[in-house]
Chain A
């Protein structure tokens, strides 16, 4: 790896973590406004330092390990969740040159790493030796396996259209074709929506957050965790959603491509916008039941994804798809 690659990966990590930190604040503000209250206001100007205060609080707390827990896995799992979530970020290009790992098989690798993030979650649930944690872990696994299929299928749509699995090439193709959701819109838009749905489910977010449904499972996987360990799991979820938004922006919304100005700005802007939309969804939708969740994946998303892949393949054979 060259020095430049190291630098850009550090830069991307910094971007991601900063945005995540302020994403926390932004979400609470947004949620507050949606529910006719103010959200955090005390710490810092308009409560801007609230996430930092939260972090300090978490670090100070005592880590508690249940007696019959699997100690090694219990310790290992939370940092791994955050690590895997961050790994994906290393593959997303934040500019034409600003991609820590600009490799030719970006799309499968991103999806694979996103799927990997599930394993530490499951580890955490299993290691806790708590039935709610285990149930949450099992739900997460089932959900992730089911939604991985439509995720791959919808990500294939831009891959087929652009004829490349390199994320930078996909963005360049979208630049030539005025973004994917704009043209061809009948392929890009449904694929985008399906991708967002599947991505939300992979990240266990509302309306697909049955693995940690607090009304049934206490807190699911994170039931037994305290202190910074809990913080890692909590953080991983946010990083996951953020990186998911970044990937969706790259695959469908033109990525770093913008009419003027630096490319990083556009990428961050699009990602944050999508991120906010996901918050909006989170605070306005209700949770699905487990069976509804599976039905949605297998009866709707998978057939629709298959149809989209087929259509995309046909489209490339038409005169307009060249």
Chain B
């Protein structure tokens, strides 16, 4: 376990999350993918904190946790709204800007 392996793992998780973000059509699925990405970022913060140089990494990881919680709350509220107006939660339904 070194800093490099941690970073590689985190990069892998991030890419997987991005994949989900680009391919999921269900709004909740998109939120899940975002969680994976935020989690990967957090792993980076903590790893840098552990391997010297960035002692405030843990504090930032905490902030990221708080931010994602806020994001999930708002995200799910939007999902509810989407569901109520379209009777479904596929994000490509929300394309009113196109018209």
Q: Indicate whether A and B are direct neighbours in the complex (CB within 8 Å).
A: no
Chain B residues with a Cβ under 8 A of chain A:
none
